[in-house]
Structure 1
């Protein structure tokens, strides 16, 4: 049995952190589903920019949509929706078999809306309608402006992938927004089942402190933060508040691990996948990480529900000068800025491809 199947059988969903039109056309994504236990995927502007600039797969659609007078941003969403609808259809049997627990794909709102609550709600609503598939998450950042948008979207019945979470506190803020949205649905007599995941980024912690901590503390901060987020998640699932919602028919917002590729060349390439094995969670993996884990990953002990030694690790890091509370806020701000830069780069790439196709016509 492949390690990916073992991990899936242990209760963790494996989602690919990538999508290209090529892997849809040549059957690669279908093969990952059949052979590597992949049951969903996520996307972001950087992923799509790489796909668009890698060849000519998107050229004809870019020219076609631009000819309608669409902006470069509108062109992107048409390209992304075309791919994600196909992926959603591919995962539809998983979605149906699991009654909507698994089989999801994700599309992100514009990072330019990171400080715009109302704009985020409006775009999330429009994208959800345009996707026209029941298994498409709309990604909304768990930032101060994003949190009320998450609550409103959940109340409106829009499935949400909360992104840009780093710390247990940020995860709990996202969970609170989700719970409020579901509670409002219960109070309004609406169906409380609205799917959501909360995406906690892991490896960026270790990249941020790599040159600031002793060798023995490298690559331990991200896993410690994830362990404490997992403890908070399990505690929430055991809480009376969640019990009341579960009795009303609601489903839990699942915890998702993002940023799981190893950045330290001296560390194992499946470091985070091994460490973050936990039931009723989702692990998103870049393609190279997925293939590495399928090849030589080893499923060991599952994550401890009580956080294990995470607090002791944070105390050691604090002794080395790491203020993880302040760093969490920095990482979220820097992540939002990075997403915005990727968005601008994506739009420029679309404009360049359109110009090249037009000139060559």
Structure 2
């Protein structure tokens, strides 16, 4: 049995960490669904920047929208949602068959709002309104300012993919926000079923820490943090507080492994897929990693509910000089800043393309 199918049967969803118009047009995404057990996808500004920059698939759409008077963020949002609606429709059978647990796509609010609670809430409402798809998550970062926005969005019934989480503590903060949002809905007599996932970024830990660590500890920090976070996730699902909400009809905020492409060329190219197999979770994978895992991936057991050797590994890494709490904060801040850079590049790329296409259309 294909390794991707083994993960699916284990209870872990595989989502594609990519979207391009060509993936939709040439049937590649449908192929991944049929052959590699892909049941959802995620997007971010970097992904769309690369998609729009690599080729001319978006040129006609950019030109038409620019002629209609759209520009900047408004033009991009319309362009991205065209793709995401098509992807959402492709995954709709999965969404329906799994009772809305799986089959999701994601659209990010502007990274410029990472420190703007009210702006994030307004943007989430706007994206949900424009999307017209039940199986579309709005992505809000789990920054300190994002946490109250997540709670309010959940209370408003907006499905949320919490992004840019790097530590167990950051995960716990957004899990609490999700619980509070659901509890407020119940108190208000509203349906407690609102979809959400919490996305923990894994490989960036190792990119940042490997240079400070002895070789024996290389590529172990991200997995240890994931193990620790998975333990917290399992403890939450076993808690009386969650059981009460689940009995009322609430849906689990599933834990999602993000940034799972191997960055170290000396490490296995399927490292973070094999290591993070666990039921009731999601792994969102880059295309290159998906191809590798489908070709030669192997499972090496399942994550332990008790965190396995995470505490011992983290203690070794701390002893070697890595301030894990400080690094978690830095990774989140750096991640938010990187998305801002990608966002600005993306909007500039669209503006440049619109200008060139406008000039070409005027040529005799």
User: In the alignment, what sits opposite 1:249?
Assistant: 249
Whether 2:334 is the aligned partner of 1:346: answer no
Output one character per residue of 1:56-80: Cα deviation in whole Å (capped at 9) or x when no partner: 1111111111122222111110110
Paired position in structure 2 for 1:74: 74
**What is the deviation of 1:173?**
0.3
- Find the aligned partners of 1:209 and 1:200 in 2 and give their Cα distance: 17
Question: Is 1:115–2:146 an aligned residue pair?
Answer: no
The answer to which of 168-177 and 349-358 deviates more is: 349-358
- Which 4+ residue blocks in structure 1 deviate beyond 4 angstroms? none
Partner of 1:211: 211
Corresponding residue of 1:328? 328
Say which SS state the counterpart of residue 106 (structure 1) adopts: strand
* Contact 2:71–2:351 (Cα < 8 Å) also in 1: no
Pairing 1:3–2:7 present: no
Using the TM superposition, give the Cα deviation of residue 352 of structure 1 relative to its aligned residue in structure 2, in angstroms: 1.2
Separation (CA, whole Å) in 1 of partners of 2:96 and 2:168: 31
1:39 equivalent in alignment to 2:42? no
Distance in 1 between residues matched to 2:336 and 2:161, nearest whole Å: 15
Matches of residues 191-340 of structure 1 in structure 2 within 5 Å?
191-340=191-340
Give the distance between the partners of 2:141 and 2:71, measured in 1 at CA.
23
SS in 2 for 1:261: coil
Shift of 1:287: 0.4
User: How far apart are residue 303 of structure 1 and its match?
Assistant: 0.3
SS in structure 2 at match of 1:164: strand
- Superposed displacement of residue 91, structure 1: 0.3
Which residue is 1:18 aligned to? 18
Please state whether the residue corresponding to 1:191 is helix, strand or coil: coil
Instruction: Give CA deviations for 1:159-188 in whole Å, capped at 9, x if unaligned.
Output: 000000000000000101100000000101
CA–CA distance in structure 1, aligned partners of residues 338 and 56 of structure 2: 26
Aligned counterparts of 1:300 and 1:211: Cα–Cα separation in 2:
27
| Long gaps (5+) in structure 2 | none
Stretches of structure 1 lacking an aligned partner (at least 5 in a row): none
Equivalent residue for 1:97? 97
- TM-superposed deviation, 1:306: 0.3
Counterpart-to-counterpart distance in 1, 2:359 and 2:56: 15
Alpha-carbon distance between aligned partners in 2 of 1:197 and 1:127, rounded to the nearest angstrom: 17
- Rounded to whole Å, the distance in 2 between the matches of 1:322 and 1:195 is 35
Give the structure-2-normalised TM-score: 0.98
Contact 1:66-1:72 at 8 Å conserved across structures: no
1:277 is paired with a residue whose SS is coil
| Aligned-pair CA distance for 1:241 | 0.5
> What are the residue-to-residue correspondences of 1:52-63 with 2, within 5 Å?
52-63=52-63
Distance (Å, rounded) in 2 between the aligned partners of 1:40 and 1:221: 27
Distance in 2 separating the partners of 1:149 and 1:67: 35
Structure 1: distance between partners of 2:326 and 2:117: 24
Moved more, 5-14 or 243-252: 243-252
Query: Is the CA contact (8 Å cut-off) linking 1:72 and 1:347 kept in structure 2?
Result: yes
The answer as to whether partners of 2:275 and 2:299 remain within 8 angstroms in 1 is no
- Alignment partners' CA distance in 2, 1:196 and 1:8: 19
Return the alpha-carbon distance in structure 1 between the equivalents of residues 226 and 102 of structure 2. Answer: 21
Cα distance in 2 for partners of 1:27, 1:184 equals 42
In structure 1, distance between residues paired with 2:146 and 2:314: 28
Deviates most, 35-44 or 70-79: 70-79
